[in-house]
Amino acid sequence: MQTVVSGIRPTGNLHLGNYFGAIRNFVRMQESNHCYFFIADYHSLTTHPTPADLHGNIRMVLSEFLASGLDPEKATLYVQSDLPEVAELYLLLNMNAYLGELMRCTSFKEKARTQPENVNAGLLTYPSLMAADIIIHKAHFVPVGKDQEQHLEMTRTFAKRFNRMYGVEYFPEPQAYNFGDALVKIPGLDGTGKMGKSEGEGNAIFLADPPEVIRKKVMRAVTDAGPQAGQEKSQAVENLFTLLKVMSKQETVDFFEDQYLKGSIRYGDLKKQLAEDIIAYTAPIREKILAIAGDDAYLASVTRLGADRARESASRTIREVREIIGFKAF
């Protein structure tokens, strides 16, 4: 059986990018693997949430995990900060993580550019914390979206470096994974890049959005002036088609592709259909989120069970790593 690990930062509600890049894979993989899925709350501290926001966000993401079909009996579901072993492995990995490679990381450069007032050490060492999350359970596969590819490459670098340094074959080299397919990037509605929480109001559709909000956001999505003979689709329209491919039936996609080719497409019709298909998909999940988020007793039992199981695996790794490094009892 393969070991699978992945996490999501609690920075607000989960959107369709998180769902199709990560969660849907979690749900599929839990059936036949050893799975550890966690809420990356240590990671979220890089942006300095208030204590109330932090707790509320963790509750939300946990409820969204469960509402999406993650089963705490099949997969180990836990909160990252319930595992102090992760912080220890992070410290140990940082001793062999070099400033140059950390500074070259795309996500660090991006953050340093967009938030120059808060370029903290946690941001710089984000990849070593992420590597600690993954290799603490000696993972083989990490279901993530395309944006995490470089972080996975760094995880492999740190794992290999540890093995080489101590002459052991201890950590496997984990691979980024998308169920039977290439890693995905779900686009947002603003006509530019990926769907993301920080990409501006209206760009992301959240699993917990009510139908009227979904309709409003989709109807406002950026398009263009219409098909131009002999020209490729604009980025904005390409994005809408990508969403349609993910959310709608093949015949719906074929219908609008055909209309586009003929030059008779009405973007308003495409958007209406897309909005209804998104609503059909998310409405049952949303209902469950609302029911679960208020159930403190259930959430407490899930996190307790998850922490116990995850710590069993993590403490074994830490014990062995300490031994390999040379921390030995007298």
Contact residues: ligand TYM, CB under 6 A: 5-9, 17-18, 21-22, 40, 43, 130, 133-134, 142, 144-145, 147-148, 151, 184-186, 194-196
Catalytic annotation on 197? yes
Based on CB atoms, which residue is closest to ligand TYM, 281 or 298?
A: 281
- Angle 120-8-65 (CA atoms, 0-180°, nearest 5)? 155
User: Which contiguous run of DSSP H or E holds residue 123?
Assistant: helix 121-124
Catalytic annotation on 111? yes
- Write down the least CB distance from residue 21 to ligand TYM, Å: 2
Based on CB atoms, which residue is closest to ligand TYM, 90 or 256?
A: 90
Chain centroid to Cα 77, Å, comes to: 14
Catalytic residue selected from 111, 138, 217, 271? 111
How far apart, in Å, are the Cα atoms of 235 and each of 71, 146, 189, 191, 192?
A: 38, 18, 11, 6, 7
Catalytic residue selected from 138, 194, 217, 271? 194
What residues have CB less than 8 Å from 14, skipping those under 6 apart? 8, 23, 60, 61, 64, 206, 207, 208
Which residues, in sequence order, are bridge partners of residue 15? 206
- Write down the least CB distance from residue 195 to ligand TYM, Å: 4
Based on CB atoms, which residue is closest to ligand TYM, 38 or 265?
A: 38
What residues have CB less than 8 Å from 6, skipping those under 6 apart? 22, 25, 26, 36, 37, 38, 142, 143, 144
- Write down the least CB distance from residue 236 to ligand TYM, Å: 15
Based on CB atoms, which residue is closest to ligand TYM, 18 or 63?
A: 18
Catalytic residue selected from 74, 146, 185, 197? 197
Catalytic annotation on 74? no
- Write down the least CB distance from residue 232 to ligand TYM, Å: 22
Look up tokens 């607000």; give the residue: 12
Catalytic residues: 111, 194, 197
